[in-house]
Each structure stands twice: as C-alpha cells, then as structure tokens.
C-alpha cells in the first residue's frame, strides 16, 4: 500500500504541474490570438501595411538608392493592383458567399480604394517634380498615354474624397452613381499603363484579370436576377 501511495503521489506531483502549465499555455494562447485579431482588425494596422511600400520608396528615392523610372513603375503598378483588389471584392462575394475573409475584405474596400488613389497621387507627384516645367507637363498631357492618366486621376479625386460614411449619408443615392465612375477610371488607368510602358504585356495581363472578374460579376448578377424573375 505504501508503494502504491508513493507511486500515486509521484505521478500526481508530475501531472498537476504539467496540467497547470497546459492551462496557462492555453490562456496565453487565447490572449495572444485575441490580441492578434484586434491588431489585424484595426484600421491603423491596415493603413500601416498599405503605406509601408510607399514610405520605403520615398525614402529610397530621396536618398538616391532608387531611380525615377523604378519609382514611377512601382507606384503605378501598386495603384493599379490595389484598384483591382478593390473592384474584385464584389465578384469574390458572388464566388464565395458567406466566407469570413471575403467579409473582411468587403469591410475594408474603401481603404483599398483610397490607398489606390494615394499611390496614383504619389505616382503623379514624382512625375511633376521630375518634369518641373509647366509647359512640358502641358505638352505631355496632349499625348494619349499621359492624357488617359490625367483623366483617370481626375475621376479618382472625387471618388477618394467621398469614400467615407459622412459622404454616403449626405449623397445618398448619388453616392452609388458617382462611384460607378470607377469603371471608367479603371479603363483609363490600364490604357495609361499599356500606352506608356516599355513592355505593355504586364498591363494587358492585369487588365485581363480585371476583365475576367468583372465579366463573372455581370454574368452572375444576370443569372441571379433571371432566376428571381
């Protein structure tokens, strides 16, 4: 009996601390997961991620580590890709209804759209600073490649300014009509990319991706409307 009691005491002395350690680890894991979820859900964290490439590019360009052409290419491509991401959310909602990650994207659609405009604005500022002379800027604007870019930027400005809850409340139905101009801005953006790039293939590939997503959106919307009728 004494040997049995000693063995049971020995195992209990090992098991209880291990159980307490596991409990503490589980509590710590829950706390860590909650903190990570709060960080990921924070708009400030998303803004930081979206702004980081631009900040690094500006610092490198100011220090001479990056050339003008690289900055213009990076900011332009990132603006176009963020635009695709913004416009892809509705097709993704139709492809994957009820998925949590799609809802996460949908709640942050405006952030992606404003970030796309931000990189387009940075793209424009770098060009203006490099060109410098107003007459040269005006002469360049008459070319189709630059003209499409200026037109796209002109459309993006009111869209970015009204990408907030206050504008939605004040404009009401007009807000949706205004933001449908994003399709025209997207076409002009990719026309600008294709017409000004040394290699137009990447721009055409991105345009094909956007066209496929929008084509699916139109087809799916038509099917749902036809089925309801």
- For 73-96, the pLDDT digits (tens) are 999 999 999 999 999 999 999 999
pLDDT the model gives residue 98: 85
- pLDDT band (50, 70, 90) for residue 22: low
Cβ burial of 1 (10 Å; 0-12, 13-18, 19+) is exposed
Higher pLDDT, 198 or 27: 198
pLDDT the model gives residue 140: 92
Average pLDDT of span 148-167: 95
User: Which stretches does DSSP call E strand in the chain?
Assistant: none
Average pLDDT of span 15-22: 57
Helical pair 100-107 and 109-131, crossing angle rounded to 10 deg: 50
pLDDT the model gives residue 167: 93
Confirm whether pTM is higher than 0.85.
no
Rounded Cα gap, residues 219 and 206, in angstroms? 20
Contact between 117 and 164 (Cβ < 8 Å): no
Q: pLDDT tens digits for 36-45?
A: 667 667 788 8
Higher pLDDT, 26 or 192: 192
Q: pLDDT tens digits for 181-220?
A: 999 999 999 999 999 999 999 999 999 999 999 999 999 8
């Amino acid at each position: 009996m004494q040997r049995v009691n000693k063995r049971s005491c020995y195992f209990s002395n090992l098991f209880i601390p291990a159980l307490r350690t596991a409990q503490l680890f589980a509590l710590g894991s829950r706390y860590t997961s909650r903190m990570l979820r709060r960080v990921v859900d924070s708009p400030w964290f998303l803004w930081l991620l979206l702004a980081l490439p631009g900040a690094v590019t500006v610092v490198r360009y100011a220090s001479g580590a990056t050339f003008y052409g690289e900055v213009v290419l990076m900011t332009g491509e990132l603006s176009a890709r963020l635009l695709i991401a913004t416009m892809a959310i509705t097709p993704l909602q139709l492809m994957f209804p009820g998925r949590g990650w799609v809802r996460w994207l949908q709640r942050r659609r405006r952030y992606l759209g404003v970030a796309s405009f931000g990189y387009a604005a940075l793209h424009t500022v770098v060009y203006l600073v490099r060109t410098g002379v107003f007459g040269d800027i005006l002469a360049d604007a008459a070319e189709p490649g630059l003209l499409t870019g200026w037109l796209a930027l002109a459309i993006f400005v009111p869209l970015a300014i009204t990408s907030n809850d206050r504008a939605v409340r004040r404009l009401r139905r007009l807000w949706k009509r205004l933001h449908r101009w994003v399709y025209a801005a997207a076409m002009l953006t990719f026309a600008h990319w294709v017409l000004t790039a040394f290699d137009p293939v990447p721009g055409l590939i991105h345009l094909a991706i956007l066209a496929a997503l929008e084509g699916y959106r139109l087809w799916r919307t038509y099917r749902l409307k036809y089925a309801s009728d």
